[in-house]
Every structure is written in structure tokens, then in C-alpha cells.
Chains A and B, each alone.
Chain A
Amino acid sequence: MSKKSLSMFDPALVAPAIVESVKKLDPRVQWRNPVMFVVYTGSILTTILFVQAITGKGEAPTGFILAITLWLWFTVLFANFAEALAEGRSKAQAAALRGMKKTVIAKQLEGTKYGAKHFPVPASDLVKGNIVLVEAGDVVPMDGQVIEGVATVDESAITGESAPVIRESGGDFSAVTGGTRVLSDWIVVKVTANPGETFLDRMIAMVEGAKRQKTPNEIALTILLVALTIVFLGVTVTLLPFSIFSVAAVGAGSPITITVLIALLVCLIPTTIGGLLSAIGIAGMSRMMQANVIATSGRAVEAAGDVDILLLDKTGTITLGNRQASQFIPARHVTAAQLADAAQLSSLADETPEGRSIVVLAKQQFNLRERDVHALNASFVHFSAQTRMSGVDLKTDAGEKKLRKGSAEAIRKHIEALGGAFPDEVQQAVDTVARRGSTPLVVAENNKVLGIIELKDIVKGGIKERFAEMRRMGIKTVMITGDNRLTAAAIAAEAGVDDFLAEATPEAKLALIREYQSQGRLVAMTGDGTNDAPALAQADVAVAMNSGTQAAKEAGNMVDLDSNPTKLIEVVETGKQMLMTRGSLTTFSVANDIAKYFAIIPAAFIATYPQLSALNIMQLASPNSAVLSAVIFNALIIVVLIPLALKGVKYRALGASVLLRRNLLVYGLGGIVVPFIGIKAIDLALVALGMT
């Protein structure tokens, strides 16, 4: 996917957005947003009043009605523009995705085995269950599962990750995505999606917003906004009779005009949030896309904001995938250098990351260089499941030297078979190392134990701070590992997680999630394997790794294209950000009304009660300029807040109270103060332009 992020007001986005905002004046589009529909209706009404005014019987000065009318239309257009701009960004992303959907001719197999005859079929004709052959250089025609073969696949088009990945039948790496390219070898793929339902299709549909449904909180908020609109409709409509009565009672002035009433209504109803609401939602999904996460629904993203338990796999998420040698612990009468030497020799042919890390450590600590394997006249013994040891046999002048390394039990069996004894102090050291959360490897020369290599799980840098941040947000982190309790406890302490589940089985994971949920908590987890699927399905927010199996991806409600388990944390933040932006703008919008009352109420009734000028605390020039300034402010604030709506309110990992106090101060108090300044400034500008 294209990672290019367009700047907020890129001309390439703005121009179509302007066209789009005019197109959105269609009443059927406006109807979907109740708040803006009221503004829309108001605009039409004032337009009619304007036409009435130019034909001679205006209820107010023609120029005034015209100015109000124009700015009401601008209000509608600005809201449309915000939505169009947000959609434009998504559309750019969708276009990039669609570019990947090339017409591919697939090789459909007649049988289910490699070697069966194949015939060409357009990829768009493939349905679920078809078997296709994909060879080196071919594009995978549809989403599917590898049922035979192994191949390297370039998935950079989907994930942006340039390193090719291995896909093979069986196991957790059997899923292939349509649009990716096989680089080497061949695979037989069983198609798992019908045309239009593939991963790519779902992504495109989602970013285009075609399937974008309102999230639960968005619906609840819309109800509140409609309620506020009804309140203000009641307030403004009843002001007309109030005004008629007052005028009759005092015998001065004239009743409030419809134009001013409509202006007042539009200023009071929450147009700021109403106009930006859908833009916020679209922008939220679009941010997830930029983070390379595909959510099946906005609901899932929103739910992520509520999560209070994060289940994280130890390996790959909390620790680096591999253990590394961290220390040589020699047995009695053996020096560390001797041990390191033996350990290095026994690991020279060990190509596992652990083996390599032993060689590296020996070099670092004792400056032992790699040796010429042939000169040593060595024969290497590779690790086998039976012996559970690896090592090397050296023929030296002093006879044959058998160097072995392996788990404590394996070495004990080995040396006891050779007539040696396993020293107690080594056994104690083994236990100590295990308690630390590390893995002890014992090294033996013939029937003598030389000492222990400590293999340590390396906790990822910065992860501890990340968890501390989560804790401040009120999110509990739980580490899941297959290790024994001792090891798990040690790593959990080092990584700073709140809790851990050791010796985890799929059933234990599922049980743990259910337990948390019964306590009323929302659980998020990441997973990739088929055995994760039940837990993923049970979790409230489940992020499946794109590298994972089809089962895992279907069970989850999000797929992380980068297969980076730490991404869950970003997902949570995005979810929270979406809600915060909505809440903050609602508060801002409602708080604005105080200043607008002070601008419009004195202006509307000053002719009847000149004393009400005492309420004109902003000292606005004239009643007409006061009303117009409020309307203009109301329209312009939408434009000013578009960047905030698209980027989202900045999320900080703080406790609820601190966060609330902060946002209340900025958006609540700010919402009260800003319009006083803004309306006054616009009024001054209107006076300067001679438009009073």
C-alpha cells in the first residue's frame, strides 16, 4: 500500500473537495446529518426571504438578509468541505489499493495436487474452493491458503515490508493474499474468498467509506446533538411570540425578524461538531490505514479505546524473538575462558540465533575469534530431538575431545552414561539461572561438566516505558507465554507487565479472557496461529497478524499488515483519539453558545428594550453587525477546526482525571472565551469594511 501521506491541505485534495462540497448540497446527502440539515433548511429560508426583499417587501434591509444568507450557505459548504476532504484522503488510499488489482490469469488445477494439469482462468472468475498453482513470478490471484509447497512471497504491496516472507502449507504461515507476488518456488493455493470479498476488496470498501456505518458512540452522540438542536429550535421558535408580546407591551421596536431568528438558531445548534462529525470518523479509519491496520469496522476501532486489559504474547511482542547468550558460568576448577572456548567450539556449526549469540559473546568477552573449521579437524554433531544436544568432536593429540552443550537433563544423562558425575554446585547454578527467567545450557567436555551458558530473553528496548504509559492510561498488560512460571515471572518483572499467564495453552488463554470479561473488563489481544483463533474470537478487540493463518484473521476484528504485535497499543490510542476528538469538539461547540447569546440577544431586542444594551458586553457596533459577526464566526470556526478534526485531539497517556481536567480547560473554558474574541474581531473587521 502506498505509504505516502498527503499533507492536510494538499492542492490535489482540496480542489476535488471543493467540487465535492458543492455536490453534497443534494438534500438527500444533507438529510443524513440532522444538525446540518437544519442549517441547510435555514439557508433556503433566508434565500427566500432575500428574494422577497429584492422584490420590495423585505422584513429587514436587503443587504443584511443577503449577508446572512451567504454566510449560512458558507456554513453548509464548509461542513461539506470538511467531509469531502476527509473522504478525499481515503479515496487516494483506495485508488492506490485499486492499482494493485491487476487482471491476473490464474493457473487453475484440475486436481488438488502439484503436477496436475492446469488451465488459464481470469482471477475474477475464481470462487471459493478452487485450487490454483502459483509459480515463481506469478501474482497470487486471490486470497487463499497454501495446501502444498513452500515459496517466498513478496507482500510489500500490502504490507509495505520489503523483505520477502515464507509461505508454506500447514502451520501458521499458510495464508496468502491476492495481489502479492511469489518470488521463488511454487505453491498450490486453495482459494478462500469469492470475488468482491477478498482482503483487498474489503480494504478498498472500507477506506472508501462505502460501508462505513456509524459507530455506537457516534450514534449516541448524534442523538445528543439532535436533542440539542430540538432545544434550540424550541428556544428560537418561542422567541417570536415572546418578542411580539414584548413589543405590544412596550409599544416600541418591532418583533424579531425571521432572518435574525434563523441566524440565532444556526449559531446555537452545535454546527461545529455537527459539521465535523463524519470527517472525524473517516479520518480515524484513515489513520488506522496509515498505521497499516485494517479494521473490519469502525466499531472495532472505537472499542479499542475502551480496552482495559491487553494480552500480549511474550515472544516477539515483549521480548525479541530469540534468546541470546548473556553470561558464562564456569564449574569449579574451570576458568570462564576455558568454558567460553569450549562453548564457542561447540557452537561454530550451530546456525540457530542462540548458537550464533554464543559465538558473539565469546568474542566479546574473551576475544575468541572464529576458527577455521577444517583446520580443527572437527566433526560436528547437530542437534537432534533424541539427544537434545549439539556439539563437536575434536581429534587432538591428547585424544578425542567430545564437546557437548544442551539442557541440564540431557547433559546429565550424557555424562552419566560416560561414567562421569553431574556436580551439585552446577545443578544449583542451573536452578538459579532458571529462576532468573533465563535458559541454562550446560557445556560438557567428555564426562566432565565445564559450566553453564546463560541464554537470556532480551526484553525489547522501550517496552517497559510503554507499559508504564499503559498503566497510567488504566490499561493492564498481561504477558502470555508457554514458559514455566519461574521464567515467566522473571521476564514479567523485567518487562514491567502487570500480570502473566505461564504455561499458556489455547484453553488457558480462552479461560483467562472469559474470566476478565466476567469481571466487566474489555480485553484486547493479538494472535497469529490457528490455535489463537478461539481466544481471538472471544476477545473484545482482536488484532490478527497478517502473517498469521486465515482462521486467525477471520476470528480477529482487525488485521495488522505489518504483523507487529506492539501495534495494538497504537490501535488503542487511535480509538481513544477518535472519541476524544468528538467529545472535545462537542464541548467546544456547546460552550460557544454563551458568547453567541451575548451577541445576539441584546441585538435582537434592543429596539424594544434599549436597556438590554447593558448585555452587549462585547460592545458590538450595531445589532446587524452583531448578528452577522456571530454567524460568520460560526461558519469560520468549522474551517479553523478541520485540521483538528482530521488529525484528532492529541492523546496523552494520563489518568482519566488529569486528562479530563486538561481537555475541559482547553475545550470547555477555551470554548467559552474564544468566541468572545472571535466575534469581537469579526465585528471590528465589519466596521472597518463599512459593512455595519
Chain B
Amino acid sequence: MSYLTQMLGLAVQNFLSAASGIVVVIALIRGLARHSMNTIGNVWVDLTRVTLFILLPISFVLALALVSQGAIQSFDAYQEATTLDVTSYETAKLDADGQSVMDEQGNAVTETVTTQTQTLPMAPLASQLAIKMLGTNGGGIFNVNSSHPYENPTPLSNFLQMLAIFLIPAALCYTFGRMVGDTRQGWAVLATMLLLFLPFAIGAMYFEQQGHPAIAALGVDQSASAWQAGGNMEGKETRFGIADSGLFAAITTAASCGAVNSMHESYTPLGGMMPMALMQLGEVVFGGVGTGLYGMLVFALLAVFISGLMIGRTPEYLGKKIEAYDMKMISVAILVTPLLVLAGTAIAVVSPSGTASIFNPGTHGFSEVYYAFTSAGNNNGSAFAGLSANVPFYNVMLAIAMWFGRFGVIVPVLAIAGSLAAKKRIAATPGTMPTHGPLFVILLASTVILVGALNYVPGLALGPIAEHLTFISAY
């Protein structure tokens, strides 16, 4: 893509997509904060304010900070660089229409390509990079995304990028608390997100540090020592090592960002399952800007519904009764994504055009497809890159998953917002379930885990878990 397309097309989308996420969550919060009202705000006013007062200033500062670390920002022509190694790789052979070529058995034909040159765009990158992270958009100028030295030059830039991903999703929790007039509510949601995030982040780092049994079998030393970070370094930058890669992977999948600084495909089965599972929780662990919080609030409504019944009252959240209509919309919002992911994966694994793009056999191949639809349905964007997704079949299927995964949730969320805004607010009494204590945090976290687990565990069992168990028994 040309620099102009990048700047006019993608940068604008990066801002607007982030802004629209925030606008939706603000509408939902207004629904909770207001009472007996017919409106939940004006989208144009909110879009303008969010872009002008939040996204632009922070992006500007962040871009400068990244430039100071060495991220490029220029309009120079593409540079041809000669690499030290000759690289040869296999790629699916495409016919004139861009379709994979099949042999008689219906398997994709691959061809081997070798090259010793690399084309380097000298793009206006830092300005894109800032909003890519801040807006949890994730699409980088380089194919390898934030593992490229131009895009992520130093450990500090790496840290700034991770910080930028979580910045707005986390801050919105506080906004939520302020807007409903009780900051404890916001802290509770933030605490829940943190509680959910930590085990997965630690898990991703831990499983990667353990190294890969198949690599160990080749006699490679994967132990940490003074000379190396150790662990499974396939697909990771030596500059970042295990900890920064694992953490980045967890953050980018928790936050529906999709920028990567290591290749998730090459993770150990369980290490790779962590980013996948984080997405499957519905991108609510911090989640995308706005999208994460509204997703989490929908889960909060669900958690409150069941627990409200358990204490013998009509369930209510922040003084708003949750009734049949709201329950209908909550169900739609929570149902849409898993159904898209499951149905998409199911169609892909039994149709020839779906299986043709799978790079690895068996369980890992299944994981590739499962990850692709998980990522698209949850609007993440990261991938198990072994899957050749740039074929018409996957482009169409994933685009459908992406479109419905985003708007299929936004529409019911706005419906809930409107319905809540019109309700009366019920006064809190000792008989009201408090939604700011540790009990609620645990309850909310359990609800998120339970919904995620019930939907995705069978698929995970056939993908990463089976793969892991196979490795254990094989080595």
C-alpha cells in the first residue's frame, strides 16, 4: 500500500474505529448513569470529542516518544537491502485468480522461493504506530508488525507500545466509575480484568520459558543461562526474549489489539493457547478501546442477573433492573461471537478450500483455523500465521466473522443502553447486592471464564490440548 493510502485510509480508520468503540461504551455507561431518559448522547459530538481531545493528543505525544527511540517517520522511497542469509521458503502456489493450486489428491501445491534481498519501506511509521497501539487496532506497516526493528526498536519502545495498548481500555474503567458516580464500581471492573489477565500472561511466559519438547529432542539447549534467555525462541526476536514476547502476546490478545512482536504460531501448544483463550474470553480482559469495557459490562449484567436471583430479588445493576428485553440483548451480545467462531471453524475444517490453506497437520492445523476465526470474530487481528489466510475463502469467511463480530455486538449493546437509560433507578439498600466488593470481582471473573470455557473448551481440547498431550507422550 502506498504511503498516501496508509495515511489517508488506514490512519483515519484507526482513529475512527477506536473512537467508535469509546463512543459505544460511553453510550452504555450513560444508559447506566441516567435514569428515566430517552437519549444516550449524540454520536457525532462524542466521535469528535474522543478523536480530538483523547486520541489525537496522546497519539501525538506517543509518536514523538517512539521516534525518539528510533521508530521511523519519513517519506523516503522503498529501500532494497541485501540480507546476509539466503532465505528460502515455501508458499502456496496460486493460480491466475489467486486461488491455491491443487494436486490430484486435493492438497495445495507449494513452491519453494529463494531470495537474498529485502524491500524496506521507509514509511511515515511512528504516526501510524502510535494510533495502532493506542486504538488497539494492531495493523502494522510491516508484515512482521512490532517485531520489526523500524517499528519496535528498543525495549523502551516495546514497553511504551504495551502500555499504549492497555492505556485507554484500563482508563475507561475509571471513566465508568466517575460517570456512574461511584468510582468503586470502576475499580471493581478493573480488578476483574487484572485478575483474569495475570494467569494468562504468566501462563504464556511460563510455557514459553519451558521450551518446546520437539526442539529439545533435536538437542537444542533451551535452558536459561547467562548467555541466553532460554525457552522456546522459535518465532521470537532475540532482542525481546521470552518475557517481553510472552507478555506482549498476552497484552495484544487480551486487548483485541492484534499487533505482535513474536509469531504466535510458533508458540508451544499451551503457550499459544494463552493468547487464543484470552481472545475467546470475548476480548473483555481490558479488551479493545471501548469494546473491552462494554463487553465486560454485558458480562456484569449477566453475572448480576444470576446472582440477583440467588438473593431473591429482581436482578439489578447500578440501580437498573434487568428485565426480559435486556436479557434478550445480553444473550445476543454474548452469543454472536462464539457462534461465529465455532461455525466459521466448522465450515473451514470440512471444506476443501478451507483445509487447503492449513500449513501444519493435525492438531496444530486445527489450532491455526480455530485461532484465525477466534481472532476475526473477536476483532483481534493477530494470527497463527501458518494459515495462508490471504485466499478468497478465508478473506470472505473472516471478513464475515469480523463484521458480525463487531456490529453483532454493538447493536445489542446500544439497545441495552437505550433500555437502561429509560428505566427508573432503584435505591440501594442492605438488601441490594453490592457490585464493588471482592465477591463481585470473583463472581464476574467466574462468569467470564465459565462462558468462555463452556463455548471453547471442546475446540481447545482438539487443538492445543491434544497437541500438548501428544508432545508429552511423544517426547
Binding site for B on A (CB under 8 A): 216-217, 219-221, 223-224, 226-227, 230-232, 234-235, 237-246, 249-250, 268, 302-303, 305-306, 308, 471-476, 519-522, 575-580, 582-584, 586-587, 590, 593-594, 597, 601, 605, 609, 611-612, 614-615, 651, 655-657, 659-661, 663-664, 667-668
A224 near B305 with CB under 8 A, answer yes
B365 near A239 with CB under 8 A, answer no
Q: Does B342 contact A (CB under 8 A)?
A: yes
A664 near B310 with CB under 8 A, answer yes
Interface residues of A, dominant DSSP: helix
Q: List 26 A–B pairs whose Cβ atoms lie within 8 Å, in order of A's numbering.
A: A220-B315, A223-B327, A223-B328, A227-B334, A231-B455, A235-B455, A241-B345, A241-B349, A241-B350, A242-B458, A249-B366, A308-B429, A474-B432, A475-B431, A521-B427, A579-B309, A579-B314, A582-B309, A593-B454, A609-B470, A611-B466, A612-B466, A656-B311, A656-B433, A660-B310, A667-B310
Mark interface residues in B346-371 (1 if CB within 8 Å of A CB, else 0): 11011000010000011101100000
B129 to chain A: closest CB distance in Å? 37
Q: CB < 8 Å: which of B310, B334, B338 contacts A663?
A: B310
Q: Does B41 contact A (CB under 8 A)?
A: no
- Complex Cα distance, B432 from A656, in Å, reads 6
Chain B residues whose C-beta falls within 8 Å of the C-beta of A474 in the assembled complex = 429-432
- Complex Cα distance, B363 from A593, in Å, reads 24
Within residues 400 to 429 of chain B, which ones have a CB less than 8 A from any CB in chain A?
424-427, 429
Q: Does B439 contact A (CB under 8 A)?
A: yes
A466 to chain B: closest CB distance in Å? 16
A586 near B309 with CB under 8 A, answer yes
Please name the residue on chain A nearest to B427 by beta carbon.
Answer: A520
Chain A residues whose C-beta falls within 8 Å of the C-beta of B198 in the assembled complex = none
Q: CB < 8 Å: which of B35, B324, B432, B434 contacts A220?
A: B324
B324 near A216 with CB under 8 A, answer yes
Within residues 320 to 356 of chain B, which ones have a CB less than 8 A from any CB in chain A?
322-324, 326-328, 331, 334-335, 338-339, 342-343, 345-347, 349-350, 355
Q: CB < 8 Å: which of A217, A244, A308, A582 contacts B350?
A: A244
A475 near B429 with CB under 8 A, answer yes
Q: Does B473 contact A (CB under 8 A)?
A: yes
A682 to chain B: closest CB distance in Å? 22
Interface residues of B, dominant DSSP: helix
Chain A residues whose C-beta falls within 8 Å of the C-beta of B323 in the assembled complex = 216, 220
B430 near A471 with CB under 8 A, answer yes
- Complex Cα distance, B430 from A303, in Å, reads 17
Please name the residue on chain B nearest to A600 by beta carbon.
Answer: B458
Chain A residues whose C-beta falls within 8 Å of the C-beta of B362 in the assembled complex = 246, 249-250
Given A593-B454, A609-B469, A217 and B314 contact (CB-CB distance below 8 Å): yes
Please name the residue on chain B nearest to A615 by beta carbon.
Answer: B461
Chain A residues whose C-beta falls within 8 Å of the C-beta of B309 in the assembled complex = 217, 221, 579-580, 582-584, 586
- Complex Cα distance, B446 from A430, in Å, reads 64
B307 to chain A: closest CB distance in Å? 6
Please name the residue on chain B nearest to A583 by beta carbon.
Answer: B309
Of residues B331, B434, B443, B472, which shows the largest number of chain A Cβ atoms within 10 Å of its Cβ?
A: B331
Please name the residue on chain B nearest to A242 by beta carbon.
Answer: B462
A605 near B462 with CB under 8 A, answer yes
Please name the residue on chain B nearest to A224 by beta carbon.
Answer: B327
B359 to chain A: closest CB distance in Å? 13
Please name the residue on chain A nearest to B302 by beta carbon.
Answer: A224
Within residues 279 to 328 of chain B, which ones have a CB less than 8 A from any CB in chain A?
302, 305-315, 319, 322-324, 326-328
Q: Does B194 contact A (CB under 8 A)?
A: no
Q: CB < 8 Å: which of B342, B426, B427, B454 contacts A268?
A: B454
Q: Does B181 contact A (CB under 8 A)?
A: no
- Complex Cα distance, B339 from A232, in Å, reads 10
Given A242-B349, A249-B362, A587 and B310 contact (CB-CB distance below 8 Å): yes
- Complex Cα distance, B434 from A656, in Å, reads 8
Which 6 A-B pairs give the minimum distances between C-beta atoms?
A474-B431, A583-B309, A576-B312, A227-B331, A611-B469, A583-B310
Q: Does B12 contact A (CB under 8 A)?
A: no
Chain B residues whose C-beta falls within 8 Å of the C-beta of A594 in the assembled complex = 453
Q: Does B437 contact A (CB under 8 A)?
A: yes
Given A220-B324, A241-B347, A576-B313, A308 and B431 contact (CB-CB distance below 8 Å): yes
Chain B residues whose C-beta falls within 8 Å of the C-beta of A612 in the assembled complex = 461, 465-466, 469
Chain B residues whose C-beta falls within 8 Å of the C-beta of A667 in the assembled complex = 310
Please name the residue on chain A nearest to B451 by beta carbon.
Answer: A231
A308 near B427 with CB under 8 A, answer yes
B350 near A246 with CB under 8 A, answer no
Chain B residues whose C-beta falls within 8 Å of the C-beta of A303 in the assembled complex = 314
- Complex Cα distance, B433 from A242, in Å, reads 42
Q: Does B457 contact A (CB under 8 A)?
A: yes
A28 to chain B: closest CB distance in Å? 23
- Complex Cα distance, B362 from A657, in Å, reads 48
Chain B residues whose C-beta falls within 8 Å of the C-beta of A224 in the assembled complex = 302, 305-306, 327, 331
B322 near A663 with CB under 8 A, answer no
Q: Does B124 contact A (CB under 8 A)?
A: no
Chain A residues whose C-beta falls within 8 Å of the C-beta of B434 in the assembled complex = 656-657
Q: CB < 8 Å: which of A305, A521, A655 contacts B314?
A: A305
A245 near B349 with CB under 8 A, answer yes
Given A223-B328, A611-B473, A520 and B425 contact (CB-CB distance below 8 Å): yes
Mark interface residues in B183-220 (1 if CB within 8 Å of A CB, else 0): 00000000000000000000000000000000000000
Chain A residues whose C-beta falls within 8 Å of the C-beta of B324 in the assembled complex = 216, 219-220, 223
B451 to chain A: closest CB distance in Å? 8
- Complex Cα distance, B343 from A240, in Å, reads 11
Given contacts A224-B302, A660-B439, 19 further A-B contacts (CB under 8 A): A220-B322, A221-B327, A223-B324, A224-B306, A226-B331, A242-B349, A245-B366, A306-B313, A474-B432, A579-B309, A583-B311, A584-B309, A587-B310, A597-B458, A611-B472, A656-B431, A656-B432, A656-B433, A657-B434
A234 to chain B: closest CB distance in Å? 5
Q: CB < 8 Å: which of A234, A245, A601 contacts B339?
A: A234
Please name the residue on chain A nearest to B471 by beta carbon.
Answer: A611
Q: CB < 8 Å: which of B313, B335, B363 contacts A579?
A: B313
Chain B residues whose C-beta falls within 8 Å of the C-beta of A219 in the assembled complex = 324
Q: Does B43 contact A (CB under 8 A)?
A: no
Q: Does B386 contact A (CB under 8 A)?
A: no
A242 near B312 with CB under 8 A, answer no
Q: CB < 8 Å: which of B314, B361, B429 contacts A249?
A: B361
- Complex Cα distance, B309 from A609, in Å, reads 41
B462 near A473 with CB under 8 A, answer no
A661 near B310 with CB under 8 A, answer no
Please name the residue on chain A nearest to B466 by beta carbon.
Answer: A609
- Complex Cα distance, B324 from A217, in Å, reads 7
B114 to chain A: closest CB distance in Å? 30
Please name the residue on chain A nearest to B429 by beta carbon.
Answer: A474
Chain B residues whose C-beta falls within 8 Å of the C-beta of A240 in the assembled complex = 346
Chain B residues whose C-beta falls within 8 Å of the C-beta of A576 in the assembled complex = 311-313
- Complex Cα distance, B349 from A600, in Å, reads 22
Q: CB < 8 Å: which of A234, A519, A611, A659 contacts B470?
A: A611
Q: CB < 8 Å: which of A237, A656, A664 contacts B430?
A: A656
Of residues A230, A238, A612, which shows the largest number of chain B Cβ atoms within 10 Å of its Cβ?
A: A238
Please name the residue on chain B nearest to A609 by beta carbon.
Answer: B466
Chain A residues whose C-beta falls within 8 Å of the C-beta of B342 in the assembled complex = 234-235, 238
- Complex Cα distance, B14 from A484, in Å, reads 69
B429 near A239 with CB under 8 A, answer no
- Complex Cα distance, B313 from A667, in Å, reads 17
- Complex Cα distance, B314 from A377, in Å, reads 69
B450 near A590 with CB under 8 A, answer yes
- Complex Cα distance, B331 from A354, in Å, reads 63
A583 near B307 with CB under 8 A, answer yes
Q: Does B459 contact A (CB under 8 A)?
A: yes
- Complex Cα distance, B302 from A655, in Å, reads 21
B433 near A660 with CB under 8 A, answer yes
Chain B residues whose C-beta falls within 8 Å of the C-beta of A586 in the assembled complex = 306, 309
B462 near A234 with CB under 8 A, answer no
B109 to chain A: closest CB distance in Å? 19
A256 to chain B: closest CB distance in Å? 10
